[in-house]
Amino acid sequence: MTPEPEPEPRISLVPCFSVQYVPGGNTFCLEKSEFDADVDWFTNQFKTTLREYEIDALGNSSGNWARDSINAYEAYAHLIIAGRYGEGPGEGVRLGFIDSGLHLDHPEFVAQGSESTVFQHVDSTFESSFERSHGTAVVGAAAGLYTGIARSADVIMFGARDPDPFGRSDFVDLSYSSWYGVFNRDIDILNLSFGPDTTPEFNYSTIADDTSTRDYSDSAFVIGRLYKNRFDAYWDTPISERPIIVQAAGNEGQEHPNVGAFWGLNSNNPFVTVVSVDRQGTISDFSNRCGAAASFCIAAPGEDLRLPSYDTSGYELGFYETFSGTSFAAPIVSGGLAVMKQLFRDSLSDRQLVDRLFATAKDNGIHANSAIYGHGLMDLGAATNPWGAPQFMDTIETENGNGESITSSFMALGAPLGDSVTQALGSQEVAAFDSLGAPFWFDASQFTVPFSGTTIATGLHRFLNPVQARPMPDSWQFDLRKNASAVEIGHLSLTDGATRFMVKEPRGLGATLLQDPGDLYGLTLAWTPPRFDSLTMEAGYLNERDSLLGSHAEGAFGSLSGETLFFGAVYNATAGDWQLGARGELGQVNPSVGQSLFIDGVSSLSTSAFRLQAARPFANGSTLSFSLGQPLRVENGHADLALPIGRTPEGEVLNQALSVPLAPSGRQLDLTAKLEFPWLGGDVSLGAIRSHQPRHQLTAAPEWAVFTGYRSTW
């Protein structure tokens, strides 16, 4: 038995999707109060909302039970989450049918770009009354608006109604030129809901894999006699032009399908034989079993289906009847394959699509009996769902698991980078691959986390731990601080929690060693000229071993590290009663990237930070101060990315090269006002901060914070 698929990741989506069920008609909105919408929620929305349309149109109490049976509503939810909510199911896929014709004016087909091509002496695209709308019903099961699986697929009907040369009224053989024309009509999936009865001439016990040749002798004699034109035309058609073929198994209730269903004997053929089940998922009494065709056979609903027909008297256009037969189970599969092809964007070959259909079928319980059900009961929800946790890969390896899981791949941006990577990726997609090698697309920006540290918390931290200006010492001074708080606005803001060992000497020289075991170490040097003590010049070096300016990456983003060299200056002056101060820093960062699937490299980065301050002391011991500062910010630099965006049918991962600027979209400026005054033997501090473009995000609303504190010693 195949394993159950692991749950798909939850993906952030907009809260409302406008879905137009009928082209040109009214839309209905799938609403959700939360932004984090999952597959189950969308599945239930489709099941309840679309079923109302189905019941109203079909005139019954259950709507389209076949959709529910194969989990089609879940597949529609996967289309939404994959970003295909602007498309109807099956859109862009061409379904071909060889059948008795198509009643194009039926309301079931208003959603398709339908055309009808007619072979064999038929001069009308409408069916004659005695045929009971067979072709119309077949197309309705695949692509009908209310009755079908892929309501937006393009439909091409090849009408063929000549008598069967062996006397069977439902068998149709075309000329070589007609078959060749069908195969070369750019059809993605060809549905064949006809075929001769099983015959005693056909020896199932000695069947051989010789349908790829033109030797129609021995065990393939009956196949060759009935299908010579078809085979010859098929093998003469270029491989790239051959469609997936879906064949009805037949309605004789026998242990093997009809002869035509054995076209899939050759393993290179993307071919599916379909048997019919009822509402309970049990094989229909009339249906042939998979039997000798089990390796390329699957079960689908085909009993008591409400499908489009028409009133032969001409009084009622939107007419429906109840149909049963493998003829109507086959187009359920054809429609499902159309949805799969749409979802996977032609990145899987026809053979791979069919293999996925088989691998994801329900094969437990009664459906484990391959002699009856082949691979099991079709499950379109599972076929369109990631099978196992999707992984980012540079080569498709479905067995070795050499990729990085989407659940462990992210880049958390530090404060200096702000929202840079998130904004640069915008609506860019990235592809991950499930354990069967199928691609699933995600919004690349969802794997980046913009810096979310609040300016309120930062302001409070600095309010409670102000940077104290220290005079030049008269003797050597040493200071050791463990887990020191980083209250600076510049490059040392990256060292919060590091151990600091500081040394100062009387001639104005100072040094600070910084270390955070396993993550960071650094050194700063400062010099205040003894004869010009209003100026202090600084230089520093930081080595981040597991981060880049506070940014962290894991999984497909690899690991980040960086070395930073920075220079700064502090200048203090007086103007009347005001004490003025200015601090500025400029830095250069040399980044490194390790074992990343996404990041080819990061250029050198330039950084900056500054603060301007003015303070006025009063005679009563009060002090009023103002400051304007910009926290550390990247000014220039970029990252070169190679994002997987899909795959070829041959298994090659397709990448898109991007150069992502690392300067954030905005520039945070903090305006601070603070009043300190003595009270009750201590000092009261009142402060207010207004942050413009907080977190260096252009669209972020200004943030205000008001602080108050009392400090006293005893």
**Helix/strand/coil for 191:** strand
Length in residues, the chain: 714
pTM of the predicted protein model: 0.83
Say what the pLDDT of residue 34 is: 35
> Which residues in the chain land under pLDDT 70?
1-37, 53, 56, 61, 84-86, 111-132, 161-173, 196-226, 266-267, 311-318, 397-401, 452-471
Q: Tell me which H or E stretch contains 216.
A: none
Q: Give the phi and the psi of residue 76 in degrees, each rounded to 5.
A: -65, -35
CA distance linking residue 421 with residue 278, whole number of Å: 53
Q: What does the H/E/C string look like for 325-394?
A: CHHHHHHHHHHHHHHHHHHCCCCCCHHHHHHHHHHCCECCHHHHCHHHHCCCECCHHHHCCCCCCCEECC
With vertex at residue 637, the alpha carbon angle to CA 631 and CA 643, rounded to the nearest 5 degrees, is 115
Q: Tell me which H or E stretch contains 643.
A: strand 638-647
Fold that domain 89-383 belongs to in CATH: Rossmann fold (3.40.50)
- Determine how many CB atoms are found less than 10 A away from the CB of residue 498: 23
CA distance linking residue 225 with residue 197, whole number of Å: 14
Residue 632 has which token pair?
């550390």
Q: Cα-atom radius of gyration of the chain, to the nearest Å?
A: 36
Pairing of strands 429-433, 439-443: antiparallel
Query: Does residue 673 contact residue 645 with C-beta atoms inside 8 Å?
Result: no
- Strands of the 599-602 sheet, one edge to the other: 599-602, 638-647, 653-661
Query: Does residue 102 contact residue 95 with C-beta atoms inside 8 Å?
Result: no
Question: How many CA atoms lie less than 13 Å away from 228 in the CB half-sphere?
Answer: 8
Say what the pLDDT of residue 564 is: 98
Query: Does residue 339 contact residue 90 with C-beta atoms inside 8 Å?
Result: yes
Pairing of strands 638-647, 599-602: antiparallel
Say what the pLDDT of residue 455 is: 52
For the chain, give the percent of residues with pLDDT over 70: 79
Pairing of strands 535-544, 559-575: antiparallel
| Chain region(s) in the chain for CATH 3.40.50.200 | 89-383
Q: Which residues have C-beta within 8 Å of that of residue 222, sequence separation ≥ 6?
A: 199, 201, 202, 259
Place of tokens 């004490």: 579
CA distance linking residue 539 with residue 569, whole number of Å: 9
Say what the pLDDT of residue 17 is: 45
Say what the pLDDT of residue 211 is: 46
